[in-house]
Amino acid sequence: MTTKLQTPIDYLKGVGPNRADLLRKELGIHTYQDLLNLFPNRYIDRTQYYKINQLQQNNADIQVIGKIVAFKEVEQKRGKRLVATFQDDTGVMELVWFRGQKWIRDNLKLNTTYVIFGKTNLFGGKFNMPHPEVELHEEHEKNLRSAMQPVYPSTEKLSNKGLTNRVIIKIIQELFLETGGRFTETLSENMRSELKLIKKSDALFNVHFPKSQELLARAQFRLKFEELFYIQFQLIIKNLIHKSKIKGFPFEHVGNYFTNFFSNHLPFELTNAQKRVLKEIRADLGSNAQMNRLLQGDVGSGKTIVAFMSMLMALDNGFQACLMAPTEILSVQHYNGLLELCNNLNISIKILTGSSTTSERKKIHAALENGDLQLLIGTHALLEDKVKFKNLGLAIIDEQHRFGVAQRSKLWHKNTSPPHVLVMTATPIPRTLAMSVYGDLDISVIDELPAGRKPIKTVHRYDKNRLNVFKFIRDEIAKGRQIYIVYPLIQESEKMDYKDLMDGYESVSRDFPMPKYQISIVHGKMKPADKDFEMQRFIKGETQIMVATTVIEVGVNVPNASVMIIESAERFGLSQLHQLRGRVGRGAEQSYCILMTSHKLSADSKTRLETMVRTSDGFEIAEVDLRLRGPGDIMGTQQSGILNLKIADIIKDKDILQSARFYAKKLLKDDPKLSNPENKVILDTYRALSKYKNIWNYIS
């Protein structure tokens, strides 16, 4: 059947070259297969027939059985309208047409039983139905139509060119007649019976022409499971192939660097989550395969120390390690944080960024190549061709979503063999998304904060409360604390944002005058050196208030800063608000986050603000963010391609997704080569899938 489904759509009865062209351009339908996988996005339930005396004033589509007993033409401002009197045994209503009157008069007969279908209006105490669908009762009874009518995705152009929903239903009916409604099964008998899934052919028929609500639900479940199962199956195979083909350097022993640091220099007790993650990393590094792991942890959960201890394992086995961060501010911070630890252990460490001088670069290049330099921290500058390592064993990438795949692979090729890769992110990724987008990476999660950290108190205040907020700032500064005030930065309106920031800076300067108060200002238009100077003043405690745009979102660590004020908080996304809040709460004192907004708030903005006030759990926040924005937005365009699903919905169907992943893993564990005859259908489907690339191009 698969071969027949690759037939170009032009050859289907009722399509022809013009319609085929429209279907290709508007809906991307090239073959019978594509048409079969054009799934309805809603259904109109035609199981109910209403009597005229039961009609209600609402906007539902309904159907009535009755007879046309009279026609009349009514003059109106432009032309005429045709009105038919329609009756059943309970009452009378009107059918109205504003165009196509001649065809209707010629084709509809008086005193013949019809089924009419459409939306009703109440006008002058009488119901009417404009432009109803009209069908002879006896035709209606014998049609290949289900009780529930599918409504297909469409475009304005299709409707204008006469390719209405009714026409699409007709050509899909034709497709089922031509193929006999028989389609190749794609899931094994065992899996179907274990999950009580209906057959492939039944699922496809009932998703297009459902016989009942229950059959529709079973058809949708079957097709959603299948779509998600094959995506997970591919990702897990990719991971397994990666592990079997790409050999990593086995780090066979834990040596002096690691044990000395663990016993004598660890600045605080590791949390259980940090210990668990280190175990997972250590197991990867000790195996023969290349590590490819994603480390997720909320702001302040202690990912950096885990990264550093992983680097020590590389050093203990005679390898070099590097850490790449997306911004200069963040790499400098990583470098300063690790410098002291390295000095204690007598490890050579350097930083390489866009600001490094030519002479510094030359020294770094030479020390890397002869192996004298053990750890290198830096930005994209690490990717330059001139940067060559003697033996890079571990590459760590921070805030991975800011680097493209091409940039990651550049790091791989710094060696004859690819180094182990640990990717870190402080943006919690909802489980469903992590399973889909990073399904080929192993995932570790640090899900507890270090002991002694007090939760940040978050409140929402309106602009009219500003005086109270300023009083609160004065009290905190009097206690010796420091304050962030952040303004939105939205690329499209840079001028407006700059003006907001400057207006804000002026009003803060008026309320907190010099010399009693010192204020730093940081924004994207400043030169890096000026930005750094202002940052340093704040870090050293020379200024009490930092007024900034979201430049400071990632990676500024000032334990003494205890208040984060976010202006126009309604203009920020949830993950950004969460990241910004994570800039405070890094010391032992109680910290606060104040979300300032105007009174006018959209429903989504209210949900975001309420979520921030209610919880500081990054994973819960990420789930809400996913519901509000959808997967494509969160992953950015680069990675949202995998989520262009035909029937499943990653948010609503997360239970099906987890089940699909479980079954894909189980199958590959029990029958890794799919040699069991029972699994032949899955092997065939997987091969066809690899051939056609697009998951739905083969699934029938």
pLDDT in tens, 60-109: 678 899 999 999 998 887 788 999 999 999 999 999 998 888 888 889 99
Going from the C-alpha of 183 to that of each of 250, 571, 696, the distances in angstroms are 48, 50, 13
Mapped onto helix, strand or coil, the DSSP state of residue 403 is coil
CA separation for the pair 81, 131 (Å, rounded): 11
pLDDT for the residue 700: 38
Q: State which amino acid sits at residue 635.
A: M
Q: Is 395 in contact with 322 (CB distance < 8 Å)?
A: yes
Q: Alpha helices of 378-463 — where are they, by DSSP H?
A: 405-412, 431-437
CA separation for the pair 307, 329 (Å, rounded): 18
Tokens of 336: 């300063």
Domains 302-425 and 457-615 belong to one CATH topology = yes
pLDDT for the residue 496: 60
Query: What CATH topology corresponds to 457-615?
Result: Rossmann fold (3.40.50)
Beta-carbon contacts of residue 168 (< 8 Å; ≥ 6 apart): 38, 152, 154
CA separation for the pair 129, 68 (Å, rounded): 13
Q: Which helix (H) or strand (E) holds 215?
A: helix 213-245
pLDDT for the residue 639: 45
pLDDT for the residue 492: 45
- Residue (of 455, 451, 422) closest to 612 by Cα position: 455
pLDDT for the residue 407: 65
Task: Specify the CATH architecture of the domain 302-425.
Answer: 3-Layer(aba) Sandwich (3.40)
Query: What CATH topology corresponds to 47-144?
Result: OB fold (Dihydrolipoamide Acetyltransferase, E2P) (2.40.50)
Q: Which helix (H) or strand (E) holds 457?
A: strand 457-462
Going from the C-alpha of 414 to that of each of 221, 288, 364, the distances in angstroms are 46, 20, 15
User: Per-block average pLDDT, block size 10, for the chain (700 residues)?
Assistant: 80 91 92 93 81 81 92 86 94 91 89 92 88 89 70 87 89 93 92 95 93 86 94 86 80 91 89 94 89 84 91 95 88 89 93 91 94 93 88 87 61 75 82 70 82 86 93 94 85 59 87 92 82 87 90 68 93 87 84 93 91 87 80 48 72 85 92 93 88 52
**Whole-model pTM over 0.75:** no
Write the DSSP string, 109-140. Answer: PTT-EEEEEEE-EEETTEEEEES-EEEEHHHH
- Residue (of 566, 505, 515) closest to 543 by Cα position: 515
| Residue ranges per structural domain of the chain | 2-44+154-179, 47-144, 302-425, 457-615
Domain 2-44+154-179 indexed as CATH 1.10.150: yes
Write the DSSP string, 220-289. Answer: HHHHHHHHHHHHHHHHHHHHHHHHHHSBPPP-----HHHHHIIIII-SSPPPHHHHHHHHHHHHHHHSSB
Mapped onto helix, strand or coil, the DSSP state of residue 52 is helix
Going from the C-alpha of 86 to that of each of 47, 102, 430, 470, the distances in angstroms are 21, 18, 55, 71
CA separation for the pair 177, 205 (Å, rounded): 11
537-541 own/partner pairs: CB under 8 Å, 24+ apart: 538/482, 541/482
Find the angle CA(156)-CA(146)-CA(168) to the nearest 5 degrees. Answer: 25
